[in-house]
A and B are shown apart, each in its own frame.
Chain A
Amino acid sequence: MKHRYLPMTEQDKKDMLETIGVEAVDELFGDIPEKVRFKGDYQIKPAKSETALMKELYKLASRNADLKENVSFLGAGVYDHYIPVIVDHVISRSEFYTAYTPYQPEISQGELQAIFEFQTMICELTGMEVANSSMYDGGTALAEAAMLSAGHTRRKTIVISSAVHPEYRDVLKTYAKGQYLEVVEIPVKNGITDVDVLKEMVNKDVAAVIVQYPNFFGRIEPLKELEEIIHEHKAMFVVSSNPLSLGVLTPPGKFGADIVVGDAQVLGIPSAFGGPHCGYFAVTSKLMRKVPGRLVGQTTDEEGRRGFVLTLQAREQHIRRDKATSNICSNQALNALAASVAMTALGKNGVREMAAANIQKANYAKNAFKQVGIEVVYDGHLFNEFVIKLNKPVKEINQMLLQKGIIGGYDLGRDYPDLANHMLVAVTEQRTKEEIDTFVKELGDIHA
């Protein structure tokens, strides 16, 4: 069989079999018991040529309504943001994307240094002292933060705000079951975590309190107030945060957060139907030796040159086995690289300017909805999302909008039964005034 990925010729095969001392390749599989040997061929689709396959898959991709052809107001944890063109050029360098985890530092300095820079940038944005090399995504990072908290405090209850992303909460519950932790949800009052209820719920059994900043409804949680309540009971203060928003928002580190997690998808990573994205995990220095996942540290070589290595590996699964702080191995290195390039391109000024543009455009859209008589629910300070109340099911409205090339907002009724007919609208820096005006007009017409 000839295939462009398989260089072996008949002559090679003959020579190699001779060296091995067998007649046929089949003999090498003689240790597979007859009873379990697979005979025949997989009943799967036959191979296609490069051209034919690309054509077929292009057609398949074209059956999806993408965010390039359509105008999106959908967020809820995944956003259509500016991705500097150079990001894809950097991550397409195959020295990066075809490498494995940098186990051999002498020939992996590029990847290691890039991760070290990523760790630094995440620390800068979150106001934390230590950040790891990445996690799968924001949801599993949040679950790992809960597990770290439980292990560190030796307590078994995790309190989480219902204004945290519903899918993140679902992931947490699955992990909590694994670890025999109890998860308690705090209700929302006017779109913000209900502080009075929180006060009643935090006690000496609570390992961590988890809130989202900005929260799932786009609102700014009162971290200062929350911190006092949480630390009074020596629980861990965990904040799940959109890292882009921290270009303008006071970082959670400033408010005394113990662990800050989130997803760097907003920084240079395409939506890709929900993954791969890029979780991040940042902590105070006292938790440094409990962080899950890989950490890159600076050191020197025998000649005194600066270099980088994977470090504090005593925390990790390949050394600690069942005593490891987490089972994570592969994380999202290439996407962390993408986020690094985006953060580098944006730099100190761009990240603030981009974050501010989100606030400005979302507020503009919010006010425009009010002007056409659509009610804004949970009205108040926001980052780039807000909630509107409609008089028809959101699913139905979104199908109408799609006909006009608009991807409407998120149907909150899916997760919050009392928010049926409520839409979570996301407005990023990508949306033009014209697009916003059209969206508001179309929705106004449907709503009228």
Chain B
Amino acid sequence: MHNQDQQLIFEQSTPGRIGYSLPEMDVPETDLNGLLPEGYLREEEPALPEVSELDIMRHYTSLSKRNHGLDSGFYPLGSCTMKYNPKINENVARYNGFAHIHPLQDESSVQGALELMYDLQQHLKEITGMDEVTLQPAAGAHGEWTGLMLIRAFHEANGDVLRTKVIIPDSAHGTNPASASVAGLDTVTVKSNENGLVDLEDLRRVVGDDTAALMLTNPNTLGLFEEHIIEIAEIVHGAGGKVYYDGANLNAVLSKARPGDMGFDVVHLNLHKTFTGPHGGGGPGSGPVGVKADLIPFLPKPVVSKQGDEYVLDYDRPQSIGRVKPFYGNFGINVRAYTYIRSMGPDGLKAVTENAVLNANYMMRRLAEYYDLPFDRHCKHEFVLSGKRQKKLGVRTLDIAKRLLDFGYHPPTIYFPLNVEECIMIEPTETESKETLDSFIDAMIQIAKEAEENPEIVQEAPHTTVVSRLDETTAARKPILRYQA
């Protein structure tokens, strides 16, 4: 062990210490040997730590200090919509009537929960312009797969069993093709044109009677609105395919354009992005899916619906694709999203998008002088820069990202999308002030200057973090995936 190593909890364990207080054992006890089949009583104890309650709090507090959250500082991670996570959401989600109810209780005893889900569905329908919404998918990728399964079921119900191809732009997130694959569909790539948008000619070339769907993010992963969205939808619909909206970038178009009006048939949303989830260090998320009327029969069951004044879980869905998750989705995250939407209202949501887009364009304009701007037009909620100019000086985008750590920032998304060299993808969100943006811009400008004058300081960054760059190659070659005493 290095003397600056952060101890693992296992290394702090001392036999005889405890950190729990179990309910009293107030029933007569019997020898466990008699209560279990022979050979099924555990002999070797699991090596869990033995520590006191204060030890545990100190351990995790010290870990938390080694972690950068949104509350720690600016987090312009492109495509992830790292906006403020309102604290009211956390309080509401912890109300006993939301946090401590069982999914299999009688429906009559959970009317409040069902009403919230129903009303959230209504709100999301209006926001997306779709006809029905399911809250069952647990995350964005899960929503993508669910949406594609719905599209597959739709085609199969029409006897269209040969529609097995999903068209995906070359700028798409890797999840899109992976979701298609899990849904049993093959991927076809459509090229982007020189403006960073879907190449219509190439799209016309790849669509056909084997097209199940086109998956599209709009604005796309470059932060650019697909101006020809109407033609795109027409081309795909004309070939008999469906158009799928990846809602990762919905923060860019709230109250400005609805996927349902753009011609999309299926939408998934990332409630942990646009609707303040929060991200939790990598989940739990929530990935509701909205559909147009012709896909409603295929929605996962049960569907939350309203009959008279009663809210019910409707299982009588003969054409449903089935369940995609036990129970009804990540309810706790849905409560947070609902609280957020109700905190903002229609005016608030409109301002969210306007401010997010204004912030992104402002940053883009100010940084354009110092970094290459591959697509010089108004962006939406995010934009991409290229570190090409710095690369020539021996400073890679990765180095720039690591140098930003020294300024207390979480770096932007880097090397994505794949079709931009040395890509730097910045999404400021609407909850950041101009002062914060200006400080970050200043840091970026300073780094650009350092790349010219003193590249080592960037190449060797970070200099101020609790660990320096980590050896990822050895981690993958000789994996150590658990602690062993």
Contacts and interface: CB of A to CB of B under 8 A. Distances in A.
Given A104-B411, A274-B326, A329-B139, A117 B10 contact: yes
A115 B59 CA distance: 14
B257 A20 contact: no
Contact of A271 (B24, B101, B281, B346): B101
Given A27-B378, A41-B255, A273 B339 contact: no
Interface string A55-67: 0111011111111
Interface string A232-265: 0000000000000011111100000000000000
Interface in A30-77: 30-33, 35-38, 41-48, 50, 53-54, 56-58, 60-69, 72, 74, 76-77
B309 interface: no
A42 B187 contact: no
Interface stretch (A201-209, A288-296, A369-377): A288-296
B329 A275 contact: yes
A33 B103 contact: no
Contacts of B204: none
Interface string A127-163: 0011101101111100000010000000000000000
A318 B173 contact: yes
A410 interface: yes
A309 B357 contact: no
A74 B104 contact: yes
Contact of A273 (B25, B113, B358): B113
Given A99-B70, A274-B103, A317-B178, A86 B53 contact: yes
A345 B467 contact: no
A388 interface: no
A105 B358 contact: no
Of A179, A220, A272, A395, most B-chain CB atoms within 10 Å: A272
A82 B25 CA distance: 13
Interface string A175-199: 1011110000000000000000000
Interface string A9-21: 0001101110111
Contacts of B94: 88
A137 B467 CA distance: 33
B373 interface: no
A334 B281 contact: yes
B465 A276 contact: no
Interface in B445-485: 462, 465-472, 474-476, 479-483
B330 A275 contact: yes
A317 B175 contact: yes
Interface in B419-468: 430-434, 462, 465-468
Contact of A125 (B46, B60, B123, B285): B46
B314 to A, nearest CB: 14
B378 to A, nearest CB: 5
Nearest to B413: A103
B99 A272 contact: yes
B158 interface: no
Given A124-B47, A288-B481, A270 B100 contact: yes
Interface in B341-392: 341-352, 354-355, 357-359, 361-362, 365-366, 377-378, 380
Contact of B68 (A89, A107, A328, A352): A107
A230 interface: no
B325 A327 contact: no
Interface stretch (B30-38, B236-244, B288-296): B30-38
Interface string B311-337: 000000000011111111111110000
Contacts of A311: 472, 475-476, 479, 481
A167 interface: yes
B184 A120 contact: no
Nearest to A33: B230
B282 A327 contact: no
A72 B104 CA distance: 11
A269 B467 CA distance: 31
A64 B110 contact: yes
Interface string B1-13: 1101110111001
8 contacts: A6-B352, A63-B112, A136-B330, A139-B323, A305-B2, A321-B178, A333-B283, A429-B23
* List of 3 A-B pairs having minimum Cβ-Cβ separation, nearest first: A274-B327, A61-B97, A47-B345
Given A65-B105, A102-B67, 19 more contacts: A16-B359, A20-B358, A36-B230, A47-B345, A54-B88, A102-B281, A106-B470, A136-B283, A139-B326, A140-B324, A271-B102, A273-B102, A300-B470, A301-B471, A346-B20, A354-B22, A357-B22, A364-B27, A381-B35
